[in-house]
Structure 1
Amino acid sequence: MEDINQINELNQNEIYIVEATKNYVFEQLKDDTSGHDWWHIHRVVSNTIKLARLEKTANMFICVMAALLHDVIDDKLVEDEVEAVEAVKQFMTEQSVATEEQASILSIICHMSFKGGQQAPLSTIEGFVVQDADRLDAIGAIGIARTIYYSGYKGRPIHDPDLKPRENMSLEEYRNGKDTAILHFYEKLFKLKDLMNTESGRQIAEGRHAYLVGYLEQFYAEWDAER
């Protein structure tokens, strides 16, 4: 992540708030073992800054704040999503984040998760940027590592040839149905390239998507003892 003080698009008050938010999020996610840890946030913020600059019209403060906070309310990680959202609201109020800025940030982080493709699309350039930044961390080499890591965290196997990709799942089926690391490629990862919101995100996703395809080709060849 770029040094917060070096993000020229932020004023001094925004830098202070972002630094406080960085510490707040670090304390909540530093011990995560699901692949949604502080280093995931670090990468998403870096992707966000890059995409926001390429897209030019996005509000950098809104983008960085949403990127930092997006997983502290994730239903995969918290017991009570409503309570987690209220805690984020309270934190932002304590940091004197303006009401309209809070609303923009909360709108993004409450609606950006994939959730089996069930979420309604976002509607602001800031939402597009942060969602793309998060999705980029789900594909490519890092995306593969996170998928296998999360599958182990959930007690799921790497591969079961008898299981086929599921379509039109409910959120409950997506979260808790019978799944494997390899099925997740078909049920989520392969879909993300075409779900990118920004042109910049799409261009980066092309290369990472190609890496996914090449990985699975090698995986199946090794599985069948062909290579």
Structure 2
Amino acid sequence: MRINQNTVLQGKRVTLVPYTSAHVPRYHEWMKSEELQRLTASEPLSLAQEYEMQCSWQEDTDKCTFIVLDTDKWSRQRATEEECMVGDVNLFLTDSEDPTVGEIEIMIAEPNYRGRGFGKEATLIMMSYGMTHLGLTTFEAKIGLENETSIGMFKKIHFKEVGVNNIFKEVVLRMIVNEEERQWLLQQTSHVDEKNYSLMKLQTQICDS
């Protein structure tokens, strides 16, 4: 989705940046994992196919993707984005008749970052972005029945279980953003700093030169 191609959302633990070709090699290495393939219901792709996928995700109007970076590592240690990658977060506009509905997915690919609040903050930031920039008022999540940790996280951030798909062996959770939930989401993400991606990269290049 082009709307976020120049957007950086910097939180306390995580920073969300657009998914670019520079991130593809690390992402490709992640997706060789059979565990991640199972949890994300994904098929392994070649590196060339992964680059093609990145291009399509950047252009498609029904997908919004950010790469999740470790904020501390990225901002203080001056490491490259690829070195700071911990996962990704996505919004899919799955209902052509209702553009206010978005399906959200979060993947913390680096095992050392799981269970430390990175996934929760990334999810909340993405939901706030979807609400304020994409006009979303309903969020859905489809999670494998065996992924109890992820199911528990979504329930903690006010998602409710609305069904189980026994064919795909996944639970469906939903959050409807009424005014109370809207204010809660805004409060949860009030610390987030939205920045210009191109300007930040230019400033980094100047500092490094």
TM-score by length of 1: 0.33
1 or 2, which has the higher strand percentage? 2
Higher relative contact order (CA 8 A, sep 6+): 2
1 or 2, which has the higher helix percentage? 1
**Whose radius of gyration is greater, 1 or 2?**
1
